[in-house]
Each structure stands twice: as C-alpha cells, then as structure tokens.
Amino acid sequence: MARRYVSIKEVAARAGVSFQTASKVLNGGNVRVSAETATRIMAVAKSLGYRPNTIARSLVRRTTGTIGLIASDATDVAISHFSVSVEQAARRRGYAVLVGHLAADGADGADIVRMLIERRVDGVIAAAPQVEDDSEVAQLLRTYVPAVSLHHVPGGQVPVVGSNQGETGRLATEHLISHGHRLIGSVTGPFRRRVVRSRLRGYEATLLAHDMEPHEDLVVEADWTPGGAAAATRLLLERVPETTAIFVHNDAMAIGVLSEVAATGRRVPADVAVVSCDDMPFAEYLTPALSTVRVPLGATGERAVDLLLQSITGTAVSAEPLLLPVELINRSSCGCADPAAGGRMTRRPHDEMTR
C-alpha cells in the first residue's frame, strides 16, 4: 500500500541529474542529452515506477488531454454504443474521456457540463437528446469549451454529427410500400426530438410520393423504451386495426412492438410487418429477425471525436451537420427474408469469445 507517486525530482536525484534534464528525456523529444544519461534516467524512472503527473503537466500546458462526454443513461442502448466508440477513438488519439450520464428526468445537464468545465476538459461531446431542450447547457457549451453534438443544441453554433434521419424514414417506408402495404403505422420517439421529426418527415414524404395520405392516427408517440412502445402499439392497433405495417424508431422499442402485436393475436410479418431503426446486435436474433435501418453509431462516434479534435486545435469546423449514410438491413420482420436462410437474410459471425 505504498500509494505514493514518485516525482520527476526523485527520478532525477537518483539518476544524478537535475529534474529539468530528466523532464526532457522523459518527454521523449530527442533533445540534446547524452545517450547514456538518457538511458540512465529512463532506467531509474522505470525502476522507481515513475508515472508522470498529468495534473501538473496540464496546469502548465493549459490543456488536459481529456474530453468530456455528456450522455443519456443506459436505457438507450444506441447511445451506449456511441459512447463506447467515442471513448475508444479518443483514447487512440491520446485523449481520455470524462463522462456524465443525465438523470432520467434530464435535469442535471448543466451540473454535468459545469463538472466537465471545472475539470478543464479540452472539449465536450454531447450525446443526449435531452440537451436539445436545455439552453443552460447550450450556453455553457458555447461560452466555455469547444463542443460537438449528436443532437441539435439550442442556439446553434455547436457542430452536429449524426446520420441522415430523413433518409432513415424514407428507406423504411419505401420498403414497406414496395411490399404492398398501404396502412403503415409508426411508433416513434418523443415528437419534440428532431430525430423523430426528421424520420417522420421522411415517412410522410414517402407516403405522399406514393399518393398515400399520412394520417395522424397512424403515428403514435412513445419514449424509446420497449414498455412505452408496447403501449403505443396497443393504441395504434386500437385506432387503426387494419394496420398492416409498423415503422418503429429504434430496436429497443421494436421488442415492445413485436410483443404487443403478438399479444393482439396478430403475427409478424404475416399480419403486421415491422421495420425499425438502429440495428443493434440483438436485432437479427429477435423472433422474427428484425428488419431495421442500420445507423452507423460506431463510425459516428469516431467522426464526433475527429471533429471535436479539429475544433480544439482551431481548425474551422463546418456549421453544416455531418451526416453519415444509413442502410436498410433486410430480415424477416418485414416479410422478405429468404426462407432458405432459416428466416434470416444476414447473420453476422459473432464476436470472438474473449470475455
């Protein structure tokens, strides 16, 4: 239980040099130091278990090599995936990540950002839909630290990365229409979210393009959770029992939709076809395998980090949202899987058994 860090001064003392010299060689730069003193210093550092104190370093360098991540809680699996990819990408580039997860009511956004700011993160990535409503968060972000967001931030000025949500709605709807569906319902996230509105716009535009009239009874708001989606589905099928297809806004809700459709005695896809969004790893193993528009969350995380680092180093960052392409993954829940493939169109090899 030593628990005492050795400082560069001790290393220097043991090596018989001044601590500034030690600093030079320990910081890697091939500064003018004789090879032998260098190796001696390195050896001592190693034997003493020297770990640079980045706190002290940050103080003088005025950057911490740390970025902040403000994310929603674990209920949103998609955001978890995004967060992980952000952290891994950041670390690959030499940055550490300080996280804050919003409470379920989303009330502590500003607290989180303040925490990040006081710890002097070099930048912040926001991955929490709730921040769309939080002007205090927006204000803090705008005045104190470079930021990138997965969602629109009130007042703008914060670059947005994400994927083409209108296209997501269009792809799903187009596909269902091409299968002959005419009464296509939708179980959505909260209406006030831009993602939701964009997807809905894609959905409606596609209906109109096929001479079909969108009807508000067919669109039911839910809350991204399976439970909320199940309730919404019940409502939808009560209002419009003839519904033959449902476009769901995420895979977690799709679980609830499948459950409730079954509970009403209907079969998927025979009676009701389902297409979702996200393509989480479990999607292809639902019964029936879920057709879904794949949202490239991993790639989005990396782009978010890249963008943020650019913005940190002062490179101008486009004000236009950076939108990554989405792709429809066709499985059986929409009725078009190849039966020969055992009810699944695609099956990815599963991860190595490393854990």
**Binders of a second copy among 92-121, rule CB under 8 A?**
96-101, 103-106, 108, 111-112, 114-120
21 scored as a contact of DNA (CB under 7 A): yes
* Nearest Cα residue to 269 out of 335, 345, 328: 335
Rounded-to-integer distance, Cα 276 and Cα 153, Å? 26
Write the DSSP string, 35-76: HHHHHHHHHHHHHHT----HHHHHHHHS--SEEEEEE--TT-
What residues contact residue 13 under an 8 Å CB cut-off, 6+ apart?
19
Residue type, 145: V
Residue type, 235: L
- Closer to a second copy at the Cβ: 10 or 111? 111
Residue 285's binding partner among a second copy, DNA, none (Cβ under 5 to 8 angstroms by kind) is a second copy
Rounded-to-integer distance, Cα 24 and Cα 19, Å? 9
Name which of residues 38 to 97 contact DNA (CB under 7 A): 38, 50, 52-53, 56-57, 59-62
Residue 340's binding partner among DNA, a second copy, none (Cβ under 5 to 8 angstroms by kind) is none
Are 70 and 113 within 8 A, CB to CB?
A: yes
| Segment near a second copy (CB under 8 A); pick from 23-31, 54-62, 173-181, 242-250 | 54-62
Residue 32's binding partner among DNA, a second copy, none (Cβ under 5 to 8 angstroms by kind) is DNA
Name which of residues 171 to 210 contact a second copy (CB under 8 A): 189-190, 193
153 scored as a contact of a second copy (CB under 8 A): no
Rounded-to-integer distance, Cα 178 and Cα 146, Å? 44
48 scored as a contact of a second copy (CB under 8 A): no
Q: How far is the CB of 32 from DNA (least distance, A)?
A: 3
- Give the residues lining the site for DNA (CB under 7 A): 5, 7-9, 16-21, 23-24, 26-27, 31-34, 37-38, 50, 52-53, 56-57, 59-62
